[in-house]
Amino acid sequence: MQTLSDLLVESNIFANREMLSPHYVPKRLIGRQKEINQIERAIAPALKGERGRNVFIYGLTGVGKTSCVRYVVDEVKNIPNTRAKITYVNCRIYSSRYKVLNKIISEHLPTYAKRGYGAVDLYEKLTNWIEEDSKILVIVLDEIDVIKDLDDLVYTLTRINSDIRAGGVAMVGISNKVSFKDSLDPRSISSLYESEIVFSNYNANELFEILKDRVSKGFRQGAVDDEVLRFIAATSAKSGGDARLSLKTLSKAGELSDENNEPKVTLERTREAVKLSEGDIVYDVVATLPEHQRLVLYSIALLTQAGGSYKKLTDGPDTYLFSGEIYSRYKSIAENLHKDPKGERWYRKYLYELSMQGLILTFESGKGIRGHTKLIKLLYPAEKIRDCIEKDVFGYPETSQVPN
């Protein structure tokens, strides 16, 4: 067992752990130059004193959306003599219209902030500040779908452009939930985005190059071989091309090697790290799912553990579930929790979102199985998914009675 003194000894493996952090933005973003250029083109009018276009950016978790936007934000902040001002807002922290407005005011008018002003006062101060010298304010809303009163926020920010005679506001919205826009008022949708940028998943070669770049800065020379990096990259590519998963696995493999006083990262330690990291990532993803999406995923996990009707029909090694039996279980669980279950239209969207998140696989059955029906397969261990949801959503210990 390691002592505090052991932990203070210089690492044999790491040179700079910060380089492996998901929050670190490297000077060169591998495999994302096209997307960076698209974001730059969307913001460019603001740099010339024109009202920029609102843009909506989406893609799965860990595909570089936030890193690319923050890269462009840093570029804008380093441009001298521009009337464009830019504010990055983490909506998981600033999750309401008032909090977003207060964040903007705090960044650009700090002497005015935190005085107990209401939203109307903040709005008037913001519009006066923009109009006084024709500023263009670019507001980046990361995880925009988390904002509780998003319709109100969108209306407020777009209203600024109507209320001022000079200057303007442009929004950049970032989300990994494609269908979140469906819950918005149609007027909000039309004003929220005028163009879209879609981030595709990283492939194994791109992930390898990302890992190689981080290793050169974060590890001691010779501590990690290419064989290890290719293994991590291939594993992460199969799980949805998540760069965060790759970096977490690499970091965890280094930690395991350090704890065992090994001079370099081995494939054995890397395989251990893959299992540990996948559990962490699954928990992170499940924790961000909307309530009813979690209930659908929970239903899939319970049915997967029970075997499912299709497995009983085929006796195959894998468990595939009928879409209908999942929906029935979801409705039962929701009702037992005194929640109104969503209709089948929303249910189909939830399945699509869970598929996009890399949590499930969906495909149409062939002939002879109840006609044509959708089959679902859980891509992570059912027990792990079930435990995540029971602890995080229901607050049950692992041995508690669960709703059925």
Domains and their CATH numbers in the chain: 33-198 (3.40.50.300), 203-287 (1.10.8.60), 291-394 (1.10.10.10)
Query: Which one has a higher pLDDT value, 363 or 174?
Result: 174
- DSSP letters for 92-120: TTS-SHHHHHHHHHHHH-TTTSSS---HH
Range 91-118 average pLDDT:
87
Range 123-152 average pLDDT:
91
Decide if pLDDT at 329 tops 60.
yes
pLDDT tens profile 257-292: 988 889 999 999 999 998 888 777 777 778 778 889
pLDDT cut 70: percent of the chain above it: 86
According to DSSP, the β-strands at 136-142 and 84-90 are parallel
Would you say the C-alpha torsion 302, 304, 307, 311 has a positive or negative sign? positive
What pLDDT is recorded for position 394?
62
What pLDDT is recorded for position 399?
39
pLDDT tens profile 160-198: 988 988 889 999 999 887 666 766 777 777 666 678 898
Given pLDDT bands bounded at 50, 70 and 90, which one contains residue 326? very high
Given pLDDT bands bounded at 50, 70 and 90, which one contains residue 314? low
Query: Which one has a higher pLDDT value, 127 or 194?
Result: 127
Range 325-338 average pLDDT:
94
What pLDDT is recorded for position 47?
82
What pLDDT is recorded for position 355?
83
Q: Taking Cα atoms as reference points, which of 116, 39, 64 lies closest to residue 242?
A: 64
Given pLDDT bands bounded at 50, 70 and 90, which one contains residue 255? very high
The residues near 22 (Cβ < 8 Å, ≥ 6 apart) are: 62, 244, 247, 248
Q: For 289, how many CA atoms within 13 A lie in the half-sphere containing its CB?
A: 30
What pLDDT is recorded for position 401?
47
What pLDDT is recorded for position 177?
73
Q: What are phi and psi of 89, to 5 degrees?
A: -125, 120
The answer to whether the pTM exceeds 0.85 is no
Work out the number of other CB atoms within 10 angstroms of the CB of residue 146: 19
State the Cα angle at 58 between 233 and 123, rounded to 5°. 135
